[in-house]
A = this chain, B = another copy of it.
Amino acid sequence: MDKKIKAILFDLDDTLHDSTGQVDTARKAAATAIYNEGILPATSPEEVYKKYLEIVKKYGTNYEGHLSILCKKYGIKPDPRLVAAGRVAYHNTKFALLTLLPRTQETLLWLIKNNFKLGIVTNGIEEKQWEKIIRLKIRPFFDDIQISESIGGHDQKKRLILTCLRNLKIKPEEAMLVGDKIKTDIVSANKLGLTTVRIIHGRYKDEKSRSELEKPTYTIKEISELIKILKKYNI
């Protein structure tokens, strides 16, 4: 191929670490801890978990008051002890399970060894995303890290990519974006003319591409497959 790829931009959640698996397990632990407090008129931890998921779906993942709403759904006043029990279980589980997906560190080291510039482009609350990057101990692997909150506005991912490319001094056609979400990662990078790689992982893994713009250049199941793809280009 005549294209030369010089930089790889990565989404964070469900691309570098198992966000979906980690959060699911943490929410189950929170539901069980809340049920075990014996305050809610609930019939099982599973029932609490189901109601909890409905609240997350309705209010979004970054809303802070999920557990207070849960109390209200069961007809009781938000109980600080209950909220704390759930929060402790949630965070302890989440941190314990926060690890890179298989072969991620090895793949990043291979990319560094082969002189690729590396970036992260991720939407999310800035402090939360930084906390994950620090806990995962991957900060020094990346030449540039862009998180949406510091930029804001519509079509955030596209702006993050453009800022990252500018900082890396890389043209869109020299870059590859790796992400799990068709609607944000793949569409925005395709629009800008990057080579795109969709990683099939997490809660968006069953999504289908419905147009040319939604089609990634490559589809992979594990990050180490990038090595084989990049060898075709320029190694």
User: Which residues of A approach B to under 8 Å, CB–CB?
Assistant: 105-106, 109, 112-113, 115, 136-137, 139-141
Among B113, B136, B140, the residue within 8 A (CB) of A106 is B140
Number of this chain's copies in the assembly equals 2
Q: How far is the CA of A182 from the CA of B113 in the complex (A)?
A: 32
Q: List 11 A-B contacts (CB under 8 A).
A: A105-B137, A105-B139, A105-B140, A109-B109, A109-B112, A109-B140, A109-B141, A112-B112, A113-B113, A136-B137, A137-B137
Q: Taking each of A112, A115, A136, A140, which has the highest tally of chain B beta carbons within 10 Å of its own beta carbon? A: A140
Specify which of B105, B112, B137, B139 is in contact with A113 (CB 8 Å cutoff): B112
A103 and chain B: residue at smallest CB distance: B140
Specify the chain B residue showing the minimal Cβ separation from A141: B109
What separation, in Å, do the CA atoms of A212 and B201 have in the docked complex? 58
